[in-house]
Amino acid sequence: MKSCLPSKFAVALRAKLMFAMMFFLVVVVVVAPGCSGRKKAEQALQEQRDKSIQEALKSLKALMTDNGMTVEQKRAEWNRIKNLNLNHAEVDEWLEKVDVYLTQEEKRMAEEKAEAERQAAEKGKSKKSFQQVLIYFERIANAPSVEEANRHIQEALSLFASGQVPVLIVISTSANGSKDYDRPTTIRKYLDYIKDQRRYEMQAELLKLDEQGKIKELELIKQ
């Protein structure tokens, strides 16, 4: 008579099947959610990168417009975007374009600053020359003797490029700013005129300096 009890082989097989099913359930319950979480994290990172790229492109394009930022602020923003190291072809292309643009703007600003400083220095020299010219006018007019007047004339001429420097005398100025001039003379002749008349009625209106800081043109107007 056959036994109804399962054989040892059947029991062992059933146990292995049960273990395999339990292991599969563990993988499904534990491992599967982990893979899903990793995919979500990777997706979030990609979305953040895409957002950073779009923001970088928008900012770079704005840097080439008159958006109210100074050149220094634009360069700082360019450096910030560059340091993101996005390694994106379009971003890299715009970084190069903006760099060229900012380099040109920086050069232009440096030239404008240098020119402003040059003009300020020239203005300072012109002001000093104005004062010196007026001092000599007064000294020549008030000199107690011809000898002293001549000495002051020689000193005054040292301020000028030569004794032949033109002197323009304004006789009238129109409402639109245009000027009418008397017959031109030279600085040597005008200083001699002051010596002979023993007075001067003119005020230095405008003077131009040469590269050595000497007066090369003088414009006078009645005080």
Query: pTM here?
Result: 0.51
Tokens 């020689």 — which residue?
Answer: 154
Query: Taking the domains of the chain in order of start, what are their residue ranges?
Result: 131-222
Tens digit of each residue's pLDDT, the chain (223 residues): 455 555 666 656 666 666 666 665 555 555 555 567 788 888 888 888 889 999 999 999 999 998 889 999 999 999 999 999 999 999 999 999 999 999 999 999 999 988 888 777 777 777 788 888 889 999 999 999 999 999 999 999 999 999 999 999 888 888 887 888 888 899 999 999 999 999 888 777 788 888 888 999 998 887 6
